[in-house]
Amino acid sequence: MSKKIRYDEGPISEVQVVRDFLPAPADLVFKEEQVKVTIGLSKASVAFFKEEARRHHTQYQKMIRRLLDLYVTQHQS
């Protein structure tokens, strides 16, 4: 295990206040163009995503969309 850093060792340089370093909420909204499709999924798959979405306080459609987006990103050449 590496040695723990102790921050009380040595002088601390001058502190500078940085204002508004986080992006605005509008800059955090990720909107990608979407296409509506109709797809048949198994009851088990939908039940799984609905339960997980409920546990994580989100929408199951968003979880499925994100899963597909990650799959595409992983397999694009």
Give dist(CA 70, CA 63) in Å, integer: 11
Give 51's Cβ-side CA count (13 Å radius): 6
Whether residue 67 has pLDDT greater than 80: yes
Distances (CA, A) of 16 to 7, 8, 62: 18, 19, 40
Q: Is residue 64 part of a domain?
A: yes
Whole-model pTM: value is 0.59
Confidence at residue 63, expressed as pLDDT on a 0 to 100 scale: 94
Give dist(CA 60, CA 48) in Å, integer: 9
What beta strand segments (E) does the chain contain?
A: none
Give the pLDDT confidence of 5-48 residue by residue, as tens digits.
776 767 778 888 888 777 777 777 777 888 999 999 999 999 99
Instruction: Tell me how many domains the chain contains.
Output: 1
Q: Is residue 17 part of a domain?
A: no
Q: Residue 68: give the domain boundaries.
A: 42-77
Give dist(CA 40, CA 35) in Å, integer: 16
Confidence at residue 16, expressed as pLDDT on a 0 to 100 scale: 83
